[in-house]
Amino acid sequence: EPASSVAAGIPDFRTPGTGLYDNLQKYNLPEPTAVFDINFFRDNPAPFYQLARELFPGQYRPTPTHHFIRLLHEKGVLRRCFSQNIDSLETLAGLPKDKLVAAHGNFDSARCIETGEPVPIEEVKDAIFSEEEGGGWQALRDKYGGLVKPDITFFGEKLPDRFYQLVGIDLPGLASNVEPDFPACDLLIVMGTSLAVRPFSALVDMVPPTCPRLLINREVPGTALYHPIRALMGDTKGFRFDDEAHNYRDVLHLS
């Protein structure tokens, strides 16, 4: 539900003209997404440290959407909230951390990318808001023996283990005794997302075929719709909003 973060005042990434990716020229990047590319970060961490000032938690408040998710938990009907957001507003609204899967990580913790050593997030915050050139990342690098970043999933990095465990994707080395969430889902609510990034976008098809799916969005995400041509090739995934003859469970609310 990235759009819930936008409602909190946090700039989104992909909106033409106003998204962060369209307003990163000042960082002199080879391409906008490079600011979240792990290989670019290794070569030049300064742009991320500068951008992180705009994104760091504590500057924004949860929205009614975040409180709605907490209410679902309080009513005892929330199995899990899978979020692409990195702002931790769900837990700030009162959602217990065990009910949240931050698929792309967040600013709750940090570590050295060379050694894996955890780094207190307050030290990282001080470095991000440092007035030193580059945002103070050099001092952290020198102290911990390598570059330090919050536990946000960059392009080129694997998503958190907990994401794969609770989705039910087997990976070598992961505990297999974790009960996945999606087979037990009896209502899937999807809110405020472009559904443009895999594997997160594939989650809508992980629920049982009898599970109703509700999408609350500003627009219809074209990449996540069922397409009859793809179906001829065996790909029957996606929402069936436009397939009235066969749609028995998908509901779209544009808002």
The residues near 235 (Cβ < 8 Å, ≥ 6 apart) are: 227
C-alpha separations of 229 from 68, 72, 95, 232, 235 in Å: 37, 38, 41, 5, 9
SS3 203: helix
Give Dmax (Cα) for the chain: 63
User: Pairing between strand 81-83 and 105-112?
Assistant: unpaired
Which of the following is catalytic: 104, 227, 246, 253?
104
User: Pairing between strand 118-119 and 250-254?
Assistant: unpaired
The closest of 54, 68, 40, 44 to 12, measured between CA atoms, is: 54
Annotated catalytic residue 104: yes
What does the alpha-carbon distance between residue 162 and residue 107 come to, in Å, rounded to a whole number? 16
Question: In the block, which residue shows the tokens 């955890």?
Answer: 118
Active-site annotation, residues: 104
